[in-house]
Copies of this chain bind each other. A is one copy, B any other.
Amino acid sequence: MNQSDTSQKPRVVIAGAGLAGCLLARLLGREGFEVLVVERREDPRTERLAGGRSINLAISARGIDALRAAGLEDELMKHAIPMTGRMIHSGSDNETFQSYSADSKKAINSVSRSELNLLLLDGADECDTVTFRFGQACTGVDPLAGSIGFRDSEGCETVEKADVIVGADGAYSAVRSALQRTPRFSFSQDFLDHGYKELSIPPAEKGPHAPWAIDPKALHIWPHGGSMMIALPNLDGSFTCTLFWPYEGFHSFESVKTDEVRRFFDEHYPDASELMPDLEDQYERNPVGPLGTMRCRPWNRNGVVLIGDSAHAIVPFYGQGANASFEDAKRLAEGLIADPDNPIDAIESYYVDRVDHGNAIADLALANFIEMRDHTGKTWFKWKKRLEHALHTTLGDRFLPLYEMVSFSTIPYDDARKRARWQWRLLLSFTGFGLITTSFIMLIVFIMLQER
């Protein structure tokens, strides 16, 4: 029965065994779809013990929702460190905690990217109908023929035919490059004048948060106007820090040389400097990566479709890159599962449904950079957050702060953005109306008192 069931479903080839590709393979594989996942890199499981740099992500409601649909929520949460707010560092001993939600239990989750990838890879590999092939780079896609080519490290080329070809191959997607050569394909890549460099705070042997050197229940931010550093906790007690600095100018990667970095940190990140014994080594060794936004339109041509970073690579400042990719994978899988006889319609409906939300989270992520580096350190910002939380507590779901909607709900991104706008407009209108009415009543009362 399983055999005949599979034969009716479209064959799916996924380029890329990253987060989105593996989740999609798992979701489709569980429904008996024949799925081939082809990955340019070697199998990360063969190097599982080799370790490597610890890069972490923040997984929030959307990611959890998608992994729940794949039956992997519990497994995910074993690897997660919940962070319930931001810890703002200003000066040497000045730490201020800002809760992410009025509900102090709501948290975003720090998860190691490589651990999460392995979890999803294992999850997909469990399905009988899912096959993986590693060390094969995509050489091209023919949307009309429904075929995709690959080349292994020895130069041997293969071509796969499929009903559905999914580009889940990241920001520099080879599948998207192929679509870019089709007529009227709109595309943009836009880089910030800022780059990023990772540093690490090692575990602490003692102290109130041991084995962590600082509070692991928060995402730490050192805001400095045009520049900032953040830190997310890892399960082993370390923190992964990321510098978001301009390439050039004051407080930049160019202006701060390795031999000045300790003095510079002592001045601008004094509490962090103390916790990084090998700061100079790390600063010298670790590369500076670019921060870019990539968008395209459409995300599909015939049976070829893009998900995750290949469709919308975004900057990391809202912690939503992986969450958005998981939402894509879930939405595409739902469409293909609901209508396996019409995969092209399912793909088109996925694209129409998701494209505005992909653009919205790209915009929101850019806007959040300004918020994190410029606003989080300001007193007015603290009061704005308090007001938002108070309104949310008082009015419940009638007032949902934007951050709440993005991180703690599955309200589609663009709907969340629109709703946040009209909520504030309504609030300002009410306030204005209230002020005018009060003034008017006071005037009437004043006139009446005068006339007595």
Give A contacts to B, CB under 8 Å: 183-191, 247, 290, 292, 297
Q: Choose among B186, B191, B247, B297 the residue that contacts A186 (Cβ–Cβ < 8 A).
A: B191
In the complex, the answer to whether A184 meets B188 with C-beta atoms within 8 Å is: no
Contact residues in B for A183 (Cβ distance below 8 Å): 290
How far does the Cβ of A243 sit from chain B's closest Cβ, in whole Å? Answer: 17
In the complex, the answer to whether A187 meets B188 with C-beta atoms within 8 Å is: yes
Q: 9 interchain pairs (CB within 8 A)?
A: A183-B290, A184-B191, A184-B247, A184-B290, A185-B189, A185-B191, A188-B188, A188-B189, A190-B297
How far does the Cβ of A223 sit from chain B's closest Cβ, in whole Å? Answer: 24
Contact residues in B for A191 (Cβ distance below 8 Å): 184-186
Contact residues in B for A297 (Cβ distance below 8 Å): 190
Contact residues in B for A190 (Cβ distance below 8 Å): 186, 188, 297
Contact residues in B for A290 (Cβ distance below 8 Å): 183-184
Task: Give CA–CA (A66, B247) in the complex, Å.
Answer: 37
From A184, which residue of chain B is reached at the shortest CB distance? B191
Task: Give CA–CA (A191, B184) in the complex, Å.
Answer: 6
Task: Give CA–CA (A292, B186) in the complex, Å.
Answer: 8
Contact residues in B for A184 (Cβ distance below 8 Å): 191, 247, 290, 292
From A290, which residue of chain B is reached at the shortest CB distance? B184
Contact residues in B for A187 (Cβ distance below 8 Å): 187-189
How far does the Cβ of A197 sit from chain B's closest Cβ, in whole Å? Answer: 15
From A291, which residue of chain B is reached at the shortest CB distance? B184
Contact residues in B for A188 (Cβ distance below 8 Å): 186-190
Task: Give CA–CA (A189, B180) in the complex, Å.
Answer: 10
Task: Give CA–CA (A105, B186) in the complex, Å.
Answer: 41
From A191, which residue of chain B is reached at the shortest CB distance? B184
Contact residues in B for A247 (Cβ distance below 8 Å): 184
Contact residues in B for A189 (Cβ distance below 8 Å): 185-188
How far does the Cβ of A76 sit from chain B's closest Cβ, in whole Å? Answer: 34
Interface centre among A183, A290, A292, A297 (most CB of B within 10 A): A183
How far does the Cβ of A184 sit from chain B's closest Cβ, in whole Å? Answer: 4
Contact residues in B for A186 (Cβ distance below 8 Å): 188-191, 292
How far does the Cβ of A62 sit from chain B's closest Cβ, in whole Å? Answer: 27
Top 6 closest A-B pairs, CB basis? A188-B188, A184-B191, A186-B190, A184-B290, A186-B191, A187-B189
Contact residues in B for A185 (Cβ distance below 8 Å): 189, 191
Task: Give CA–CA (A151, B297) in the complex, Å.
Answer: 33
Task: Give CA–CA (A186, B193) in the complex, Å.
Answer: 11
Task: Give CA–CA (A188, B290) in the complex, Å.
Answer: 17
Task: Give CA–CA (A238, B290) in the complex, Å.
Answer: 53
Task: Give CA–CA (A247, B185) in the complex, Å.
Answer: 14
How far does the Cβ of A180 sit from chain B's closest Cβ, in whole Å? Answer: 8
How far does the Cβ of A214 sit from chain B's closest Cβ, in whole Å? Answer: 32
